[in-house]
A and B are shown apart, each in its own frame.
Chain A
Amino acid sequence: MDLMNPSALGIQAQNVKAWFGAKEVLHGLSLEVLPKHVVAIIGPSGCGKSTFIRCLNRMHEVVPGARMEGRILLDGEDVSQHDPVALRRRVGMVFQKPQPFPTMSIYDNVASGLKLNGLRSGPQMDQIVEESLHAAALWDEVKDTLGKPGTSLSGGQQQRLCIARALAVKPDVILMDEPCSALDPIATAKIEELIYALKKSYTIVIVTHNMHQAARVSDETAFFLMGELVEFGATSQIFTNPAHKKTEDYISGRFG
């Protein structure tokens, strides 16, 4: 627990700056995500949305030459003090393009995080796999084909498989980096329903290019522009009565 914020749960980002090499892409962002809330991050391409959420689970520093400054607190603890490997078990991530592990079956994909961290196969593993697939709303579609390759599923199913895979390691937070951008409208609707259901148990930060999606799934919305946070507030307020002209222009489609 951080002594300055003894009761702070969720995520607090304080003055986060990030670089790729010499190029500064985030210029000091601060925002707070409450536990079991969904925060949507919107903004034009290249505004630093993905970079920001990759700072939250320290995936940003995986890129050669990338670094960050500022503080990010997860339940009051500074993430820079965490072992990044342990941190990423608490802060799961779903990527833009569904990426099942190509050599693994559906079952093994979901179990991969547990298996490779030493959990033995057995009834406990079976149970976690089933729960995770249920939670990702995929169980009914794959329960008879768990031994088939993960890559044999459709794109939308693959993305839900990736969500199940992230859920299986029992994170507190799930980061989603444009999880529907490669999916058709029906698969997108399923993922959105899923996000709504997952909110009961998880804190979610989702990057999206789709205004309607942000409006549908999130409690709060953050609007980023060129590495700065322009506006952050309740989603209903951002979309109906934005405080900034730029926010209004962006969500009404006048630029970006």
Chain B
Amino acid sequence: MNTNASTRDVVNVAAFGVTALCAALTLGILFFILGYVLIHGIGALNWDFFTKLPKPVGENGGGMANAIVGTAKLVGLAGVFGLPIGILGGTYLAEYGRGRFSFFVRYAADVINGVPSIVVGIVAYTLVVMPVRHFSALAGSIALAMILIPISLRSTEEFLRLVPNAIRESALALGLPQWKVILFVVYPSALSGISTGALLSLSRVSGETAPLLFTAFGNRFWSSGLLNPIASLPVMIFTYSIAPYDDWHRQAWAAALVLLMLVLLANVGARLMLRRRTYT
């Protein structure tokens, strides 16, 4: 009996130790990345970075104002195109979807989630860039939307499924049509989850580089409208970090820091705004 008890204790302690270690490791990696980017980026960060255009090669200084605005434009537009499709599609899967069609939609979304993002870039290149023979913000945001749709679709579905069925039944039993039940009872109950999912999908695509390389392309100047090539932070980070100039390396770190901060701010902000009585 005694030996059994001590073996059990050892196994218990070991299991606790291993799982706790892995949890700490995950957190450690996150803080390592944040810290590393912060240390390298903070030095190159100044007011010019947010307000000035990039300087010509060989000249120090300048900033990435065009790329910051460009990323906002690309991601915002990707959200406008992709979020309605993702959220409504996810609503279909959770609230109406049964049977074979839903199975295929779900499966397709998971497959697209696993496709390397450069492939999505090539698709957008073929569909949008080739016909007009011009790189554009529109092409870039369509590429990002294609990545965003399956993510927001699946997260919307998951969060809607967390709303207890009894809530839906209570509302139906009051003599409400199903669309009102979804719109006024189920959506509000899952609001914070759905918005968190939407935000995560936006965060995810705001860091995508590969699909932008031959759709939005890049631009060292301001880009007007949607039909011109446009700069973005990830592509700038990519271009600047592989260039042979020290000043560009520092600016790439600063761009990485700004991108991280923007994503972090958006997430924390939304969390604070959405502290409500919901299930998710």
Interface of A toward B, CB cutoff 8 Å: 57, 59, 62, 64, 85-90, 92-93, 95, 97, 99, 101-103, 112-113, 116-117, 149, 151, 162, 165-166, 169
Please give the distance in Å from B118's CB to the nearest CB on chain A. 40
In the complex, the 9 A-B pairs of residues with the closest C-beta atoms, listed nearest first? A89-B175, A113-B174, A93-B173, A88-B175, A103-B188, A99-B166, A99-B170, A102-B277, A85-B177
Contact B167 A102 (CB under 8 A): yes
Contact B176 A149 (CB under 8 A): no
A15 vs B152: C-alpha distance when bound (angstroms): 47
Contact B164 A113 (CB under 8 A): no
A130 vs B176: C-alpha distance when bound (angstroms): 21
Contacts of A57 in B (CB 8 A): 173
Contact B170 A95 (CB under 8 A): yes
Interface: B100 (CB within 8 A): no
Provide a sorted-by-A list of 10 A–B residue pairs whose CB atoms are within 8 angstroms: A89-B175, A93-B173, A101-B188, A101-B189, A102-B189, A103-B278, A113-B174, A113-B175, A116-B174, A117-B176
Please give the distance in Å from A58's CB to the nearest CB on chain B. 10
A93 vs B171: C-alpha distance when bound (angstroms): 10
Interface: B279 (CB within 8 A): yes
Contact B175 A101 (CB under 8 A): no
Please give the distance in Å from A181's CB to the nearest CB on chain B. 13
Interface residues on B, range: 20 to 34
Contact A86 B175 (CB under 8 A): yes
Please give the distance in Å from B204's CB to the nearest CB on chain A. 27
Contact B98 A64 (CB under 8 A): yes
Contact B278 A166 (CB under 8 A): no
Contact B166 A117 (CB under 8 A): no
A87, A117, A162: the one contacting B170 at CB < 8 Å is A162
Contacts of B277 in A (CB 8 A): 102-103, 149, 151
Contacts of A86 in B (CB 8 A): 175
Please name the residue on chain A nearest to B191 by beta carbon. A103
A113 vs B167: C-alpha distance when bound (angstroms): 13
Contacts of A113 in B (CB 8 A): 174-176
A113 vs B171: C-alpha distance when bound (angstroms): 8
Given contacts A95-B170, A149-B277, A166-B174, 6 further A-B contacts (CB under 8 A): A85-B177, A95-B173, A102-B277, A102-B278, A113-B175, A162-B170
A85 vs B180: C-alpha distance when bound (angstroms): 11
Contacts of B260 in A (CB 8 A): none
Please give the distance in Å from B141's CB to the nearest CB on chain A. 33
Interface: B103 (CB within 8 A): no
Contact A116 B169 (CB under 8 A): no
Interface: B245 (CB within 8 A): no
A95 vs B173: C-alpha distance when bound (angstroms): 10
Please give the distance in Å from B186's CB to the nearest CB on chain A. 10
A100 vs B170: C-alpha distance when bound (angstroms): 8
Please give the distance in Å from A167's CB to the nearest CB on chain B. 11
Given contacts A62-B169, A99-B164, A102-B189, contact A112 B98 (CB under 8 A): no
Contact A59 B174 (CB under 8 A): no
A73 vs B169: C-alpha distance when bound (angstroms): 22
Interface: B185 (CB within 8 A): yes
Contacts of A112 in B (CB 8 A): 171, 174, 184-185
Contacts of A59 in B (CB 8 A): 169, 172-173
Please name the residue on chain A nearest to B181 by beta carbon. A116
A87 vs B176: C-alpha distance when bound (angstroms): 10
Please give the distance in Å from A62's CB to the nearest CB on chain B. 6
Interface: B276 (CB within 8 A): yes
B167, B176, B276: the one contacting A116 at CB < 8 Å is B176
Contacts of B171 in A (CB 8 A): 101, 112
Bitwise, B157-170 to A at CB < 8 A (1) or not (0) is 00000001011011
A99 vs B167: C-alpha distance when bound (angstroms): 6
Contact B188 A85 (CB under 8 A): no
Bitwise, B49-64 to A at CB < 8 A (1) or not (0) is 0000000000000000
A230 vs B189: C-alpha distance when bound (angstroms): 42
Max count, chain A CB within 10 A of own CB: residue among B173, B176, B188, B278 = B173
